[in-house]
Amino acid sequence: MLSEGRRRRRRSARGPVGLLLLLFAGGAAAIAVWFGVLRADGPGRPVASAGVQRLTTPVTERPPLQEAVGPLPEPPGAARVDLSRSALLADLKLDPTPVAGLAFDFADGRVLWRRGATRVRPIASLTKLMTGLLAVERFGSDSRVRLTAEPDQIGGTHMGGLRAGRSVRADVLLQGLMITSGNDAAVALAVAGAGSVHAWVNQMNARARLLGLKCTHFVDPHGLDPRNRSCPADIAALAMRAMAEPRLARIAKHRFARVWPGFGKKITLRTTNHLLRERYPGAIGLKTGFTNRAGHCLVAVIERGERRIGIVLFGSKIDAFADARRIAREAARVGAIDPAA
């Protein structure tokens, strides 16, 4: 009887201890499974286990940097603007006269007309020519860009529709940059391409040095800051390099485009270049710009037959497009381009 009583007491004593051991083992197994799931799926993602979904707070992450591929090779036989020779249209007078400007032949860099060709001035959205060139050197035509909140926070002209968290094709941003001069598109490309606006601007200035642009300095990717400065000779060289990139040249000549910003309906972009809007004969680009400090700025490219000229204008007093048309008429008169059909 005593032995039976002792056996009963021993079993009752082992009961709570065994239960605790079982609970501890089960908890350890659950923790191991949980951490295994975390390792497999990563933090901040829904975790499914036995049909139950666990929702976590999404983590806002800066998109991965686009790998910098570096400058594309210079096109063979590329011309340089030649300031050593006298201007073909030396007697041309524009009234009122722009602050500075330059007209040149794409084929051989011959200067057709100039005024203060090396005068350093604010360049407004002509800054976007360098952002566009860097963008085609860093993003493939099918590359996608994850948007942050920064593009929507910039002032000035917007292409619109660029909301944080969306994914959009890089060429959509290029269209917003070159057609409608979107500052938000410039910031989106800068952040995706270099990690920050500051890092992108450093790359813009490095690219300017590689191109031999001696009077050019950038402080932002869009041109709102008047400290973005250059001279007509440098902008002419940058325009020649930009037009040598087929993607950029193709986008820059569009009068409008319908694009999808990654969510919702498509949006319509309309060019800021009135030469393109008016279907001026031979107009195929390139970029406009305006701020109070810079005035009206323009890089126009006119192509007729086998001839192509570029026209750079800084600080046109009334109408930069009228100035460009006058220069193009004179260029046709002396045979620099074919007459309008």
Q: Exposure of 31 by Cβ count < 10 A (0-12 exposed, 13-18 middle, 19+ buried)?
A: exposed
Closest Cα to residue 296, out of 156, 73, 126, 176?
126
Q: Exposure of 161 by Cβ count < 10 A (0-12 exposed, 13-18 middle, 19+ buried)?
A: buried
Distance, in Å, from the CA atom of 185 to the CA atom of 147, rounded to the nearest integer, reads: 10
Catalytic residue check, 317: no
Q: Which residues contact 284 (CB under 8 A, 6 or more apart)?
A: 249, 252, 253, 301, 302, 303
Catalytic residue check, 181: yes
Catalytic residue check, 125: yes
Q: Which residue of the set 3, 84, 128, 141 is catalytic?
A: 128
Going by their DSSP bridges, the two strands 100-105 and 307-316 should be labelled as: antiparallel
Q: Which residue of the set 125, 230, 253, 316 is catalytic?
A: 125
Q: Which residue of the set 3, 84, 181, 253 is catalytic?
A: 181
Q: Active-site positions?
A: 125, 128, 181
